[in-house]
Chain A
Amino acid sequence: DQQVKQNSPSLSVQEGRISILNCDYTNSMFDYFLWYKKYPAEGPTFLISISSIKDKNEDGRFTVFLNKSAKHLSLHIVPSQPGDSAVYFCAADTSYGKLTFGQGTILTVHP
């Protein structure tokens, strides 16, 4: 039972354009959502998060949107840069930090 799903295994965008990564969840008890970025042979690095009481959180080039009624969140990266190429994981939390992760989306940003 996959409670957090990232249905796009990969995404390819041109440098300077917008990257949109999507994530769906099924558990309505999730109340905190995070995005992590992962380079090969490294651990996930925290990017941005959002509480369920908000619908948008912005940090520089990164914006996370949350649609609770649709149980959907997305990460927007504008403008995309080649250094953004990595695997992106969304994760959800209900309580003390026991994170449930999606399968990840491989983002490739072409120069």
Chain B
Amino acid sequence: GAGVSQSPRYKVAKRGQDVALRCDPISGHVSLFWYQQALGQGPEFLTYFQNEAQLDKSGLPSDRFFAERPEGSVSTLKIQRTQQEDSAVYLCASSLDGAVNQPQHFGDGTRLSIL
């Protein structure tokens, strides 16, 4: 498909386990964003990549959260030693070049549940 693809769609993990969430952006999109959406809230910014460079990670809640995009296309969000408060939907979005006035296109998200 031509849209942003995220996998897995659902992930259940026990507290303390590590998880990895994958995002395949739209082909050719330079900018990639990760957001966290808690139940009943709007998405909240986590981190931003332009190509392979992580230019802003100010939204990552703790040092347990780590994101990478080594070849400037696919990105992985990793959460180490998961906690119950990490339960949320994690959304990935991409845009053509990240400039202002460029709408972001979102994937369907990964719903993460920590038991």
- Among A23-44, those with CB < 8 Å from B are 31-32, 34, 36, 41-44
Binary A-proximity of B36-48 (CB < 8 A = 1, otherwise 0): 0000111111001
- Decide: B106 and A96 in contact? CB cutoff 8 A: no
Question: How many chain-B residues does the 8 Å CB contact rule pick out?
Answer: 30
B103 within 8 A of A: yes
B101 within 8 A of A: yes
B77 within 8 A of A: no
Complex CA distance for A93 and B43, rounded to whole angstroms: 13
**What class of interface size applies to chain A in its complex with B?**
20 to 34
- Decide: B91 and A96 in contact? CB cutoff 8 A: no
B102 within 8 A of A: yes
- Among B45-88, those with CB < 8 Å from A are 45, 48, 50, 55-56
Max chain B Cβ within 10 angstroms of own Cβ: one of A32, A44, A99? A44
Chain A residues, CB < 8 A from B42: 4, 89, 91, 101-104
Say whether, besides A43-B106, A43-B107, A45-B106, A100 and B45 are in contact (CB < 8 Å).
Answer: yes
- Decide: A103 and B40 in contact? CB cutoff 8 A: yes
Partner of B101, one of A45, A49, A89, A104: A49
Complex CA distance for A14 and B114, rounded to whole angstroms: 40
Say whether, besides A43-B4, A44-B91, A103-B40, A96 and B104 are in contact (CB < 8 Å).
Answer: no
With both beta carbons as reference points, the residue of chain A lying nearest to B91 in the complex is identified as A43
- Decide: A97 and B108 in contact? CB cutoff 8 A: no
- Decide: B4 and A96 in contact? CB cutoff 8 A: no
Max chain B Cβ within 10 angstroms of own Cβ: one of A32, A34, A51, A99? A99
Complex CA distance for A103 and B43, rounded to whole angstroms: 8
Complex CA distance for A4 and B42, rounded to whole angstroms: 10
- Decide: B91 and A51 in contact? CB cutoff 8 A: no
- Nearest-Cβ distance from residue B76 to partner chain A, whole angstroms: 18
Chain B residues, CB < 8 A from A99: 33, 35, 43, 45, 104
Question: A89-B42, A101-B43 are known contacts; what are 6 more A-B pairs with Cβ within 8 Å?
Answer: A43-B91, A43-B109, A96-B31, A96-B56, A96-B100, A104-B42
